[in-house]
Amino acid sequence: MGKDAKILIVEDEQHINRLIELVLQSGGYYKIRKAFDGKEALELIKQDKPDLILMDVMLPEIDGLSLCRMVKSDPVLNSVRIIMLTAKKLEEDILSGFASGAVDYITKPFSNKILLARINAQLGNLNNNVKTYQNLTLDNENFTVKLGAEEINLTHFEFKLVELFLSNVDKVFSRSQLLQYLRGDGGYEVSERAMDVQILNLRRKLGDFGKNIKTVRGFGYKLTGAIHE
């Protein structure tokens, strides 16, 4: 991923927003979008899921902590990394940022070099194209899933389910969350009963590995972090 990462700057003060953009460009990042309030940011996040968000805490419309919680509660968006930017330096404010789902917290005024170093640290090992778990590998660029060396033929929905589970090992998803993820903005007709069929077919295609997709009774499904738990 690295320098090809998509980065969203969310900062209502225009001169700081521009300064962050210049810092990013000096570091070789050019896939940059900017928002000046929380509502505008949320629309951009949904339109074009970024890899990293640099977000001020004090924002008009929707504040940064609330927006962070909204992103992290959405199964489609919760893999997005968020660095909070704020003038607040109190410990409880910093802890609130982490509790909301932020991966880092930088206080203003910040050093340009430190800001870039923190960004590089978050994006350096980020690769959204290939995800591996045990002997299963998903390649988002080539739209393939392999068990060892064997390629598995999956439908579009099944591929998306595997991608979601691999990105969130041990996280339980309700049927309604999975439906929301599969439907996206495409308006596909998928029912909760059909979701159970999707999972059943996916397990069958994945063979022995499919046993790791567990049913959480009365709620939904998860990919367990233990082999055949």
Question: Are residues 84 and 68 in contact, defined by beta-carbon separation less than 8 angstroms?
Answer: yes
- The whole-number pLDDT of residue 78 equals 82
pLDDT at 98 over 60: yes
- The whole-number pLDDT of residue 229 equals 40
Q: Count of CB atoms within 10 A of residue 75's CB? A: 20
Q: Taken in order 23, 24, 28, 33, is the CA torsion positive or negative?
A: negative
pLDDT band at residue 188 using 50, 70 and 90 as cut-offs = very low
Query: Which residue ranges make up each domain of the chain?
Result: 2-123, 130-223
Structure tokens at 167: 């990105």
Structure tokens at 90: 């109190």
Which CATH number is associated with domain 130-223?
1.10.10.10
pTM over cut 0.75: no
pLDDT in tens, 54-88: 999 889 999 999 999 999 888 888 888 899 888 76
2-123 and 130-223, same CATH topology: no
Which CATH number is associated with domain 2-123?
3.40.50.2300
